[in-house]
């Protein structure tokens, strides 16, 4: 039976560490600050933004939320970002996605100053990640790496398979594993034989958004399995992209859903914000 990679517990540890780092910075006269921009009234986004704001408050990070109407123009969003780029109280800027259709997401993200892009989504930050330069690690894959690290799992020389190639999870995850010297395969919706690829993995990361897609027969004995997926079933249950029961009987480590990768994402946002403040001073 697999060991549980307890994201809830590890995220709480990270938050405690961040809290101490914030206290140290405050003692030097610097209060880390995060600005979150929310355009429109998507209910899920509102919950995410509220949670981020609350998490900041808990660790002593100054946070301000800019709630803009769905009718806000792209120019107005760009103006606000420009203002925040120049605001010395703000070290990190986060634009909650998705944005309304009339706003060019790429243009908006790209306008965030590189040293304040704590979500790590801008093309320049991603470029730096790919070439191994100083950058902010996107929060969800960063959280996965910290889970591996805290469980004492070194990706070096291991075969890692990442299922999913999104810009926010799959691709940066693959790059981070590569940077830690894993041999990395990226699978996606057009992969010819997903099961065969997954069975090669010493470290398997599922970031797909398909409930329980990865089953026990697709996993090598002793593999480390990280489940990024969050899927709500019609009966209300929350499940990952991994079929927990069958996979946990073969894996050596596995993340649960909920309580695995999920809690790590906000913890890493806090960590990136403190890092941004540290770099600014």
Going by the annotation, the residues of the binding site for NADP(+) are 164-166, 230
Task: Specify whether 6 is catalytic.
Answer: no
Residue 7 CB, nearest distance to ligand NAD (Å)? Answer: 9
Task: Specify whether 134 is catalytic.
Answer: no
Residue 261 CB, nearest distance to ligand NAD (Å)? Answer: 4
Task: Specify whether 52 is catalytic.
Answer: yes
Residue placing its CB nearer to ligand NAD in the complex, 93 or 228: 228
How far apart are the C-alpha atoms of 64 and 46, rounded to whole Å?
Answer: 14
Q: Which of 6, 96, 116, 117 is catalytic?
A: 96
Residue placing its CB nearer to ligand NAD in the complex, 133 or 149: 149
Residue 218 CB, nearest distance to ligand NAD (Å)? Answer: 11
Residue placing its CB nearer to ligand NAD in the complex, 81 or 168: 168
Residues 6+ apart with CB under 8 A from 177: 145, 155, 160, 162, 184, 203, 205
- Secondary structure letter of residue 114 according to DSSP: G
Residue whose Cβ sits closest to ligand NAD: 166
Residue 189 CB, nearest distance to ligand NAD (Å)? Answer: 4
How far apart are the C-alpha atoms of 82 and 149, rounded to whole Å?
Answer: 36
Q: Which of 6, 116, 117, 119 is catalytic?
A: 119
Full strand arrangement of the beta sheet holding 183-187: 3-4, 253-254, 224-227, 203-206, 159-163, 183-187
Residue placing its CB nearer to ligand NAD in the complex, 166 or 183: 166
Neighbours of 20 (CB within 10 A): 13
* Binding residues vs ligand NAD (CB under 6 A): 140, 163-166, 168-170, 187-189, 191, 194, 207-210, 213, 228-231, 261-262, 265
Q: Which of 6, 52, 116, 117 is catalytic?
A: 52
Residue corresponding to tokens 């699978």: 187
Three-state DSSP at 180 gives coil
Q: Which residues are annotated as a binding site?
A: 164-166, 230
Neighbour-count burial for 234-267, b at 16+ CB within 10 Å, e otherwise: eeeeebbbbbbebbbebbbbbbbbebbbbbbbbb
- Residues with catalytic annotation? 52, 96, 119
């Amino acid at each position: 039976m697999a060991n549980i990679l307890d994201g809830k517990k590890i995220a709480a540890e990270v938050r405690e560490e961040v809290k101490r780092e914030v206290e140290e910075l405050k003692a030097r006269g610097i209060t880390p600050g995060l600005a979150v921009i929310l355009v429109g009234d998507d209910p899920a986004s509102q919950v995410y933004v509220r949670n981020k704001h609350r998490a900041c408050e808990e660790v002593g990070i100054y946070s301000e939320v800019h709630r803009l109407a769905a009718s806000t123009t792209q120019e107005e969003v760009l103006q606000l970002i420009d203002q925040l780029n120049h605001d010395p109280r703000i070290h990190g800027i986060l634009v909650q996605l998705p944005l309304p259709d009339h706003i060019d997401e790429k243009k908006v993200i790209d306008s965030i100053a590189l040293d304040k892009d704590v979500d790590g989504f801008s093309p320049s930050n991603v470029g730096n990640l790919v070439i191994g330069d100083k950058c902010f690690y996107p929060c969800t894959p960063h959280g996965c790496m910290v889970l591996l690290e805290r469980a004492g799992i070194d990706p070096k020389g291991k075969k890692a398979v990442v299922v999913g190639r999104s810009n926010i999870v799959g691709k940066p995850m693959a790059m981070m594993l590569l940077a830690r010297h894993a041999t990395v395969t990226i699978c996606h919706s057009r992969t010819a034989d997903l099961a065969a690829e997954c069975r090669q993995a010493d470290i398997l990361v599922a970031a797909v958004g398909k409930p329980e897609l990865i089953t026990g027969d697709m996993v090598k004995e002793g593999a480390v399995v990280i489940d990024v997926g969050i899927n709500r079933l019609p009966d209300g249950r929350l499940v990952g992209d991994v079929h927990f029961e069958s996979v946990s009987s073969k894996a050596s480590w596995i993340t649960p859903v909920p309580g695995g990768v999920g809690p790590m994402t906000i913890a890493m946002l806090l960590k990136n914000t403190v890092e941004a403040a540290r770099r600014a001073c």
